[in-house]
Structure 1
Amino acid sequence: MDSKDPKSYRDVDHAPVTSVLPDGDVPVTDHALTSDDAVLVALGYRQEFKREFSLWTTFCVSFAVLGLLPSFASTMYYGMGYAGTGGMVWGWLIAMVFIQCVAMAMAELCSAMPTSGGLYYASAVLAPPGYGPLAAWLTGWSNWIGQVTGAPSVDYSLAAMILAAGSISNPDYVPTNWQVYLLTVLIIIIHTIISSMPTKWIATFNSWGSVFNILALVITLITIPAATSNRPKFTSASDVWGTILNGTDFPDGVAILMSFVGVIWTMSGYDSPFHLSEECSNANIASPRAISLTSIIGGLFGWFLQLVVAYTVTDIDAVMNSDLGQPWASYLLQVLPQKTAMALLALTIICGFSMGQGCMVAASRVTYAYARDDCFPLSRVWKQVNPHTQTPVNAVILNGGLGILMCLLILGGDTAIGALFSIGAIAQFIAFAIPIAIRVFVVGDRFRPGPWNLGRLSKPVGAAGALFVLLMLPILCLPSVTGSDLTADLMNWTCLVYGAPMLAVMVWWVVDARRWFRGPKVNVEHSLYREDVEGVDGVVVQETAASDAQDQKDMSDSKPQ
């Protein structure tokens, strides 16, 4: 065959990736590829985004999604309210050890499979023969549900903080649920517009936002101890570390485990670099590094913030039950002069805006990745990449619209809207754990580590992370009270708000989806049946034996995902 024949292509090897394409089936291309493009093509996808994210800007998006200051402000009820200061300092420390295990195991998967499908793609590739589509289906939907609720929950907390600031300035003003909802909708619309911009603009916006997040966190860590009006300034170490103020009807140990929900929700954003890997240069190294940096730096700074609050808070009950309806604002007013408290609250609000923006970007990439594989109704619409911005604008708009609808829960009261936080914690960590557990307990030698890997620590670290998630699943579903004290307002609705959509997804699978869903859908040309011939300069060229549609069918038959 003539090397200039239009059916002659350059061979792209799988190494160093773990691909959905089986051994012997390699993608082929008729043009030169960068190293990043070659890795993505080896995974079965063509390059559609501009790679304008670097390690720094990817870390910035991830750290913005983490949003330590606004995340802590939004989840104080779970840490301080469930277990007091002892639960705060010990709970964060213990939880972070295992959360680091989850993050490191995920980073290893990202290095081997740097695609925006992320966890869903990993589950499809690593699952035992015949179970790949089901593993991908469950992982993908759980991850998507957690992602799509992220920005609305953050934006709701942001709106509540803004209106709480208004209440502090004007004590006669009491925000209504409608006002909170309308302000939340406005913030979601603004985030939708920003997330639809070109990649370079988004990267720049999030870089500045993350720098501000870091500076605001440092300012807060310094200002609170320095400016506190408490006398004495700090609570004794024995009281801070040794006092478990149990705000639940369960034993102290269970109360501390229940306080982990705040840590888990706060630390659920480090998967963002995985989903941005198709827009990142040197992705199979930069993206896993961004994951590990986010989890380590976020974990340390988060613990420092826990310590500062634990050593300065004087009345936990007053903070939890304040008329402001926002524990962080109540705490700041309790320990600081009003002007200083308002300044730190303003910093938190700005950080919250940046965090919501990062959540919207990450969620839109997940929606795009799953629509690319036809997981959703009208996938052909949601997987479109805008030709002007080179970003998945339709996916952004879909997420924004769903967020506006979900925030109608605000009108149902605190318990109803609190369900968004529960979904985010449990949905994300289940999605994290599925591919990690498959990698550790099932896959054997079929996993090809990428250039960033844990070596001999891979399986022990992954096992610790997966078992931690298994332990936390029932804990995340417990209400704070039991028996006659348990009412509809105090019920933990996590089982319903997460279980109901996942049950619907499973019914859909059994009734219909299992017939047509085959996991990641290859969109590059590839050849199952190769005829190696001599090409130019010794490069091997190959002839495609069948059409893409037939190749896809044969691939599924030869190696069930």
Structure 2
Amino acid sequence: MSEEVRRAGLAVPRAMMWSYTANAVIGVVVVFAYLYSIPDVAAALSSPTGFPILYVLQSATYWGTLPIAIMLIMIATAGCIGCNASASRETFAFARDDGLPFKNWLAKVTPKSLIPRNSVLITCIITFLLSLINIGSTVAFNAIISLQLIALMATYATSIACVLFKRMKGEHNLPSAQWSLGRSGKAINTVALVYSIYLVFWIGWPPLQAVDASSFNWAVPMFGAIFLFSLVFYYTNGRRVYKGPVTLVQA
């Protein structure tokens, strides 16, 4: 989405840092308040509502549960809109760069709104269909959630590792940046890389020690299958048509 932001090299990382800092501070306050308000962990987990957070809120402030729950729904909705906007722009970008099938349709930009409406629609439809999996099988739905977390952390680890490798070879190998981490960049990149790999390792584990078909974490074989398919597809066809945004952007 940086393509839709003015002075993205400065505005985007600055917005990311301020948003993470603000959310971290608020998150610590909320966690301590939430833990302080739990009267009984077992009772919260076995709440008839199916949502322990509602049990805790009702125990802390019965009449305040509804407005707090509404605020949580509004925050979750805003987060979903942001995720959908990001996913739709990524779909548009890959289609524009010949990285997806039906590229002409997915990369089409609506003249009036100046947004990739087709990419937004297909992203919403896929998200809606994936949400229906939870109705048929909670195990399959949890596998999908774990799969996207593994893919996300693996993507972060790959990107950070490439930047860190360039930093280790020398700053002159990287283009000049409008916003920089300065001397602490290498240390921050190293911690971020280790943390991403750490999460990838643990997300793939099953939730229980006694593993069966219902408790097995199917995200790992799914990720492996998709990774191998993508690798084969890239070497057989993708590398001939996909050039990447770097070769298409004029500085």
Same fold (TM over 0.5): yes
Q: 2:197 maps to which residue? A: 470
Query: What amino acid does structure 1 have at the position aligned with 2:208?
Result: V
Q: 1:186 maps to which residue? A: none
Q: 1:358 maps to which residue? A: 82
Partner Cα distance (1:510, 1:315) in 2: 55
> Relative to 1, partners in 2 of residues 1:516 and 1:305: Cα closer, same or farther, differing over 3 Å?
same
> Relative to 1, partners in 2 of residues 1:392 and 1:283: Cα closer, same or farther, differing over 3 Å?
same
Deviations 1:157-182 (A, max 9, x none): xxxxxxxxxxxxxxxxxxxxxxxxxx
Deviations 1:207-234 (A, max 9, x none): xxxxxxxxxxxxxxxxxxxxxxxxxxxx
- The alpha-carbon deviation at position 437 of structure 1 amounts to 0.7
CA contact (8 A) 2:92 2:119 kept: yes
User: Following superposition of structure 1 onto structure 2, how do residues 433-448 of structure 1 map, counting pairs within 5 Å?
Assistant: 433-442=157-166, 444=169, 445-448=172-175
Task: Pick the aligned partner of 1:511 from 231, 236, 245.
Answer: 236
The answer for unaligned runs of 5 or more in structure 1 is 1-275, 527-561
Q: 1:495 maps to which residue? A: 220
Partner Cα distance (1:417, 1:386) in 2: 33
Query: What amino acid does structure 2 have at the position aligned with 1:395?
Result: S
The answer for unaligned runs of 5 or more in structure 2 is none
Partner Cα distance (1:524, 1:455) in 2: 26
- The alpha-carbon deviation at position 416 of structure 1 amounts to 2.2
> Relative to 1, partners in 2 of residues 1:381 and 1:319: Cα closer, same or farther, differing over 3 Å?
same
- The alpha-carbon deviation at position 521 of structure 1 amounts to 6.5
Query: What amino acid does structure 2 have at the position aligned with 1:502?
Result: F
Task: Pick the aligned partner of 1:298 from 9, 16, 23.
Answer: 23
Query: What amino acid does structure 1 have at the position aligned with 2:37?
Result: T
- The alpha-carbon deviation at position 310 of structure 1 amounts to 1.2
> What's the TM-score, normalizing by structure 2?
0.89
User: Following superposition of structure 1 onto structure 2, how do residues 383-402 of structure 1 map, counting pairs within 5 Å?
Assistant: 383-402=107-126
User: Following superposition of structure 1 onto structure 2, how do residues 542-557 of structure 1 map, counting pairs within 5 Å?
Assistant: none
SS at match of 2:135: helix
User: Following superposition of structure 1 onto structure 2, how do residues 253-272 of structure 1 map, counting pairs within 5 Å?
Assistant: none
- The alpha-carbon deviation at position 406 of structure 1 amounts to 1.5
CA contact (8 A) 2:98 2:241 kept: no
Partner Cα distance (1:470, 1:442) in 2: 19
Partner Cα distance (2:40, 2:213) in 1: 27
Q: 1:479 maps to which residue? A: 206
**Superposed CA RMSD:** 2.2
- The alpha-carbon deviation at position 332 of structure 1 amounts to 1.9
CA contact (8 A) 1:440 1:462 kept: yes
Partner Cα distance (2:229, 2:77) in 1: 33
Partner Cα distance (2:218, 2:46) in 1: 21
User: Following superposition of structure 1 onto structure 2, how do residues 28-427 of structure 1 map, counting pairs within 5 Å?
Assistant: 276-337=1-62, 339-427=63-151
Partner Cα distance (2:121, 2:244) in 1: 24
Partner Cα distance (2:60, 2:219) in 1: 33
- The alpha-carbon deviation at position 451 of structure 1 amounts to 1.6
Partner Cα distance (1:345, 1:454) in 2: 38
> Relative to 1, partners in 2 of residues 1:372 and 1:317: Cα closer, same or farther, differing over 3 Å?
same
SS at match of 1:449: coil
SS at match of 1:402: helix
CA contact (8 A) 2:164 2:189 kept: yes
- The alpha-carbon deviation at position 387 of structure 1 amounts to 0.5
- The alpha-carbon deviation at position 421 of structure 1 amounts to 2.8
> Relative to 1, partners in 2 of residues 1:315 and 1:525: Cα closer, same or farther, differing over 3 Å?
closer
SS at match of 2:242: coil
Q: Larger RCO: Structure 1 or Structure 2 (Cα < 8 Å, ≥ 6 residues apart)?
A: 1
Query: What amino acid does structure 1 have at the position aligned with 2:185?
Result: S
Which stretch of structure 1 is more off in the superposition, 353-362 or 505-514? Answer: 505-514
Query: What amino acid does structure 1 have at the position aligned with 2:220?
Result: C
Aligned length: 248
1:520 is aligned to 2:245: yes
- The alpha-carbon deviation at position 524 of structure 1 amounts to 6.3
Query: What amino acid does structure 1 have at the position aligned with 2:206?
Result: P
- The alpha-carbon deviation at position 290 of structure 1 amounts to 0.3
> Relative to 1, partners in 2 of residues 1:295 and 1:524: Cα closer, same or farther, differing over 3 Å?
closer
Deviations 1:398-455 (A, max 9, x none): 1112112222312223222223432332222221221211111246231023121012
CA contact (8 A) 2:99 2:241 kept: no
Partner Cα distance (2:246, 2:183) in 1: 32
CA contact (8 A) 1:382 1:394 kept: yes
- The alpha-carbon deviation at position 307 of structure 1 amounts to 0.9
Partner Cα distance (1:407, 1:419) in 2: 12
Percent same amino acid at aligned positions?
Answer: 26
Q: 1:210 maps to which residue? A: none
Partner Cα distance (1:336, 1:355) in 2: 26
CA contact (8 A) 2:153 2:197 kept: no
Partner Cα distance (1:406, 1:357) in 2: 16
Partner Cα distance (2:224, 2:28) in 1: 31
